[in-house]
Structure 1
Amino acid sequence: MSRIFDLETVELSIIEGDRRSTPPEMGRLDIDEETTLFVLVELSAPVELWDDVSALLVQTAVQGFSLAKGGETRALQKAAEDANRALVYENEDLPPEDRMWAGLNMALVKGDTLYLAQSGPALTYVARGAKTTHFPKTTDPDRVNDADRETLRPLGEQRRVQVRFARFHLQPGDVFVLSASHLPSLIEHETVREILQQTDAYDIADDIADMVGENDYSALIVQVQPRTEPTPSTSTRTPTPRQHTPAPEPTPATTVVEEPTPAATRQTTTHAHRAATAMPKPRPRPRPNLDDNADAPPTRDHAPLLPRPTHGLLERLLAQVDTWGRRTIHLADVARTEAFATERVARLFYLFGAFLLMLLALILHALEWLLALYASLVPPLWQRLVPILDAAALALLDGMGWLWYQITSTARNVLPGVKPAPPRQRRSTTQPPDHQGRHFYPIASVVVPILLIMAAVLLFWRSGAVNSQAWQEILTAADTQIALAEQLDLAGDREGAQQAILQARVALDEAADMRPDAKEVALLEARLAQIEGRVLRIVHVEPQALATFGASVVPGELVVRGSAVYVLDRAEGRIWWFDATQPPTEPLDRLSPVLAPNGTTVRQPLRLMTWMPTGGTRTTEALLALGGAELYEYLPSGLVRFVPSYIPAEAEIVSLGHYQGNLYLLDSTARQVWKYVPDNVGTYTTPPTEWVQPDAQAELTAPVDFAIDGDIYFLEADGGVVKMTAGQVRPFTLEPVSPPIEAPVALFTDELAPDRPMFYLYIATQDRVLVFDKQGALFAQYTNAADWGAITDVAADETSGLIYVLTTRGVYAFPLRAP
């Protein structure tokens, strides 16, 4: 969907009464002919940091939006999260009184749709003719008081960000303004509405500047105009200030956002200044009545949709229904002007609510009828039962008295020196009519609770007995399956033993959930681990945690060279390094990366990497990292440099590899490996060659990773491995494993030395690492005894005998050993 109109943009930035021509607090990104992003930042910061931090937030938001995946709302959310993360990072080294906060206001025009996103203090106006809409609605001082303001938490205060969204349909002649949030404290609402009714964006900017005067203020005015010629669909001009002193021309800089005119004389905006400038409190105004909305059309006097009854509970219920219905239809009239609802929808909700209340009234009438029936039948029956119940209660008391008499009389006769018990007097079981019920009620109040308690104890005991019996049956089933697996293993039936082990594992896990600390479960776990090691080649390891990181890190790649470990974060496109013999004591995301996008040395977020040893014309080892279609090199000395390369941007590169100085790129879309031979200076400027031969490409379906040791091994999405030599397929099959390989994520092998490949292939799924020899035989399956998170990459150093895994929680290492 292409746009049928042009966008005319005017940037307005006033600092101490002077208008600046290149304000750092606003930015714009033209994505294509139909999509444009506008960003405005409202910052509270010390004077010397204001311009630099504003430009940083704008650039971070624009970059986060451009790199986000998903729809428009997700991309705007990602831009706000990245800007908030950048400001939180800037605040970490500042004292509390100097910490900065900001509001972020974004507008995305895609086709004829306007998407708005706000985080922290922000204000947006959308005007169409005489009608003006405010976002958020509570920014309108004519409609809210202090208790009704909807303020979001500013950026920079917490790591979690709040974002408010809205969407509008644009037409030629519309105007939308991204404004600093304190405009209502500088200009009356009606004045702003009159200004926005003008048809020229420059006149709007000049009028706002006149009304603002000497106050600091920023706004980005965009006017939708009919397209007059097939030129690029957006245009931006610097407005000529009217009755203001022009600001000096800015000095060109190397960053994306140009350096604005210095504002050295500005006063530092502190947190105490926040409430007075960026987030002013509106003047107290009385709350309007329901029908007193200036923006909505006059509401009609809706007649009741249901007839009113004349008496009873039903009348009160339907009266409440009609009241709610009137209010619902009125709100629909108001919302209809803002494209949020229609009167038809409101009436449907009204009728549905009326139906539910009618149903409730019928239920209440049915209950009333049942109570009347109870009153007519039960009391007469109760009057006949009470004498019988009283007689039974007296008989119970007499029986208890007789039992007590027998006990005491026997004791008196046995014990020496005690007088015999006097004769017992029987209790009468009949009572006068005025005493009926007086004996039954006290006894029932004592006996009934005792009976209920006994019943509850019996049920609890029975439940415990049932649970104990079920647990014992599950434990017996696990023991039986383990014994069967041991017998089948001795008989050489490996497939049958595997099935028995899987059934034993299910039963034992269920028993452990019921009683995790039971000694019987621990003994069976030890037996099952032994048979798993013999049959399934499973090894339960307790890995060493080398490094950790926070939940915001998205681990992508792991490279190990000797004791040097490199970790790539795909969320920020950065790379960390640490020494495995001296692991870091704090999370990696708190350390400075060795490679990260900075706009100069590294211009693109990094997403893939590999270690490139010496070979060919390359005389030094280095870490190669791919960002977009650009290749970067990190030398062990710490030097970072851009490596000229010929890498097509349209290729879907999913993995990098190396062999004897050559660079290999796995293209999953083309099912091809692009081979780059270094030129005479060790870069990759010559076009690549196709390594996979055409007749072998059909053998590749959906490769997710590859590994090179002279031959190339391709890991397919279904868990299979394809081996090729010189671009041709060679016979190779992995031994079947149990449980089967599902959703593999990484494949690794390498050279121990030039022309000396590693002994094993390492395949990683999300919960285990499988090791095969180069003939496809299973060596071992490694699982963690505890939870180490989901695995994303694997590497190995067969010289030191260690396997390294990268998971969503950190980097772990464990020894390479047989089951």
Structure 2
Amino acid sequence: MNVMDSISPSIEPVVGALRVIGGVSLGADLCTAVLPSPPRAARGRENERLFILLDLGGQASSHLYRELRQVLTQTYWATAGSVTAALRQAAAAASRHLFRANLHSDPSDRCYGSIVCAVLHGEDLFILQSGPAQPCALRGDLLECFCDEELPRLGVGPMTDARLYHTLVAVGDTMLLASPALLLEASSDALTRVLNRADVQDVTAGLEQIGAGADFTALVARWTAPSESPQAKAPAIRRPAPPPPNPEPQPRPQPAPRAGPSLGERVGPVISKTGRGMGRGIVRAGGWLASSTGALFKRMLPGREREARRRARTPRPVPQENRVVMATIAILIPVLIAVVVALAYGSFGRDARLQRLVKRAREEIALAEDAEGVVDEARPHWEAALTYASDAVEWRPDDSEIIALQAQAQAALDVLDGVVRLNPIHLMDLGSGAVTRRLIAHGQTIFVLDPAGGWVIQLTLNQLGDGVIEQDVPLSLVHTGQQVGGKEVGQLVDFAWMNPGGERQTSGLVILEDGGALISYDPAWGDAEGGANLARSLLGTPPTEAARVIDSFNGRLYILDPGDDDQIWRYEPRGDVYPDQPDRYFVTSPPKPLGDALDMAIDGNIYILYADGTILKFLQGEPQPFEVRGVPDGIGQAVAFDVDRDSRSETVYVADRGAGRIIELDPDGAFRAQFCVAGGVFDELESLAVDEMAGRLYIISGGRLYTALLP
């Protein structure tokens, strides 16, 4: 528990804060704050005081509290305009930050809660509530709780449902910002009695008593006159000092006369200097008078007056005129003027258009922020702002302010659409392919199969997982026409990684040929010559020629065969081979024919991806609840998907080539997030593999192999 005092020109809030967890009173510095206006606050934020209460529950980390408080304060003090608009923007920024933190956290670590902010502007008090925490005010014996409904918790979505209130404060009023648990535990009468206590420390102690048994956070502010503040010191009364006694005037002592120069000594130099100056003046006047008199007598004598001699100038030759040059100059001058005017007009026109685009982008951003909490209203404004800002960036790509507007609009749309931006790393160029390549990631090893090219290669990742060792020549495991087990390898259909299970004791890669043969590869062993250890075996009953996808689980082999039986065949292992007749996975026909199936994935459940984006989920042959929903704009063109069989998350990852993204779905098919990359890297998606234990995603797109960290 702590008590903080602050200063205001007219009335002062004396503030107390309290946080109780598990019946123990803890410091409330992380959850509460009272801040005056910083020196460089935005226009309109001067001489204000900001009160903050954060309530995220007991499991929230101190780091998260500090981040949210920093986002709140920085956004509020940096927002010009009205108090309510600044409060809305601050709450919206905090809501987005908490939602993103929850989006990147495990479900058990996610935090939800409330924010209550109050701003004292003169004697006006503005309050914003987001979440179930409540603000109250006590005036005399009247307790007023501002909100009579429970708002949704903060952090559930990117938008916040906020309420704004306004009231006037006077000396003696008390404000309470508290967790909902306190108001549920204590009655209104008990709160009134406690808030009426004279000292704020007694108020917080009383709140701890009446809230016993509940975990809560509370912030109390009592408005007092400046002289009543606990730390205000009364100024010392200064009495006027008595006037000193008037002493009788004393005669001023006269200085003793000093001996000076005599009158003759003082006047003599002056007379001498004056005489010399007068002599020089008389001489100059006499000379001028004689010269003027002589000239006058000469003009009075008879005869012609002589003209003054002038020096004749040498005549200059007239330059020859080049008519071609003069005509060219006469033509070029107006052309040059027209070019300059056109350039100036174009420059001014571009600047004017650029300013209009920037202005419109800002206006749309303001409208979107005013519609915060209503996604359908905010989205078109954010989209328009992004369009205007992107057009402005094309005109001036190096303007940091315009780039910031574009980034702000894009980030807002990303939050609305659940977009997570990835930074993929290019591992290897695989070249173009006629059909979709297949991809498997197992530990530090990656396998790629090209059915059209008829080859399988193996790549080894470095220790960091951001590069492959075989940069120049990847290891070729199998190719069509190769001799394995005394026979040539046929057309390659698909492959799968097989873990031990049942009678199978080893793990390895299995590759299905079109004739029903199975090629096995164990990376742990090599042949006698140090090459790949390959073995070839036949299935007990081969699938039809329509078989296109295989997978495995717990040592069993599953083949999706849309042939006459429209079935998934399940083969039990006998050692490392599968010589027996397969079992039917579906007792009855599947609810959707397998002819349109693109891919299959197994993590205990079996998932089937269809060309129209439909995903069906089965367990022991029976359909399970799974419906793809909530995906922004729907799935455009699904080409592949994957689940991590070694993880229990049951998260489904879908490669959507139509929208250039990877879609993340919950175990029931609900949209969770979408992974996007700038620069069109995902525009030609082919295949993907996920390793949740390593936190990595592997993608083939446009003939290139990439890896990216999972968020």
Query: Given the two structures, how large is their TM-score scaled by the length of structure 2?
Result: 0.48
More helix by share: 1
More strand by share: 2
| Bigger CA radius of gyration | 2
